[in-house]
Chains A and B, each alone.
Chain A
């Protein structure tokens, strides 16, 4: 993960290079925010492709450093690091440093020295910070490797700015980035008073006039917005792929539309799904792709309702979620994750040259269906501990969430367990508990 804090143009060029030239082979996203004095501040998250993955501490050391470079060996880099990448002084040396929260540095500087880069129990990386005696003087304080923000020498030299680079293997960093998307602009409260007109006479107070809700835009942010640059960007684009059973496409109409008009309008209309069939008939290059992989090579023209071979860019597709209880549509979704180059609805149901009448049978042929054994086992297992009414609740929860393929199979196998307690309850209701009359 990389956090940038740089000048306007630098940031723009960097985002341009990284995100528009397909520099990132896999995935990436960024958000830009503007700090109080107007400097742009971007958070960039990149996923490296398998080829470039940083697998061990040695790889990480090659890319990310948290040590002062030797001023004689790397004079230029050393100067940049000293200017931009030192944190502090804070702590006892400077209590009013902005990073100080409750008497200690909120960024946990100065950090401990370490011989080598390691990964701690929580999966976080601790960078190598050797106690090599190098230091920089800042406001009369000696600051060494313990006060260095981790950086990438390459990026630092290229952009000459504060570029914090971190290795990260946690998915929660995505949440961290999205926080900035939803945070909204910075706010401050300002009160404007008129001292000269103060008088002892009765004042008419217009509460609305007294408080304005204004927005502060720095010059930098204004330019960013005027040019319409992205504040937030994700790459690659994800396309949500819709599909439907044969002759069951979604039709939109208004309450007062005439049925003939609706029919006429939709009769020969292509859908995203049908266009996939047509593209497969027309073009050869998509025939070895599944429906979800199709957007990598083809684009969907929503105006013309057609799919055409992709000339530029990259996009991935995701199939819409279908709950297991919805029957054929669910089985079709399973098949779509496997079937390639389909040209009509029947070809989805065709396995090894044999066309099945339902999607479910085709799934079974491919061995894609798990049976409901897990649900039966779950209820049986629960029956050792739970009362009948609790088991019935469990069964109903499974029913409502549409998780079971065949609810009747589960019912037949477990109803005697589910019925537990009913007899007891009836005896109690009828007040014949344990009564034996002879």
Chain B
């Protein structure tokens, strides 16, 4: 099981998750992120990305490492 070294979240995803957290806090105060047009908006399509352990396990590749490997094998 070499692929499961450690569970990490990529910066792009972390940014999105953080926005979702802020969104939730705003919602409980009767506001929405869309109200602040200058702020980045969360991508709701992958908001469930980290909900299911099995999917997380399947998706948790070290993409950088694999890209290097791919490059070297070409």
A binding-site residues for B, Cβ under 8 Å: 389, 392-393, 395-396, 399-400, 406-408, 411, 415, 418-419, 422-423, 426-427, 429-432, 435-438
Q: Is the interface of A mostly helix, strand, loop or mixed?
A: helix
| Size bin of chain B's contact surface | 20 to 34
- CB atoms of B50 and A426 under 8 A apart: yes
Task: List the A side residues contacting B26 at CB < 8 Å.
Answer: 396, 399-400
- CB atoms of A396 and B15 under 8 A apart: no
- CB atoms of B53 and A431 under 8 A apart: yes
The contact sample of 24 A-B pairs, CB cut-off 8 A, is A389-B21, A392-B18, A392-B25, A395-B22, A396-B25, A396-B29, A399-B22, A399-B36, A407-B36, A408-B39, A408-B40, A411-B39, A418-B18, A418-B21, A419-B14, A419-B17, A423-B14, A426-B7, A426-B9, A427-B7, A430-B56, A432-B56, A437-B1, A438-B2
Question: Whole-angstrom distance between the alpha carbons of A422 and B24 in the complex?
Answer: 14
Question: Whole-angstrom distance between the alpha carbons of A422 and B21 in the complex?
Answer: 9
Question: Whole-angstrom distance between the alpha carbons of A429 and B50 in the complex?
Answer: 9
- CB atoms of B38 and A392 under 8 A apart: no
B binding-site residues for A, Cβ under 8 Å: 1-2, 4-9, 14-15, 17-18, 21-22, 25-26, 29, 31, 36, 38-40, 50, 53, 56
Chain B nearest CB: distance from A134 CB in Å? 67
- CB atoms of B5 and A430 under 8 A apart: no
- CB atoms of B18 and A430 under 8 A apart: no
Question: Do A436 and B5 form a contact, CB below 8 Å, given A392-B21, A422-B14?
Answer: yes
Question: Whole-angstrom distance between the alpha carbons of A427 and B15 in the complex?
Answer: 16
Give the residue of A399, A408, A415, A432 whose beta carbon is less than 8 angstroms from that of B53: A432
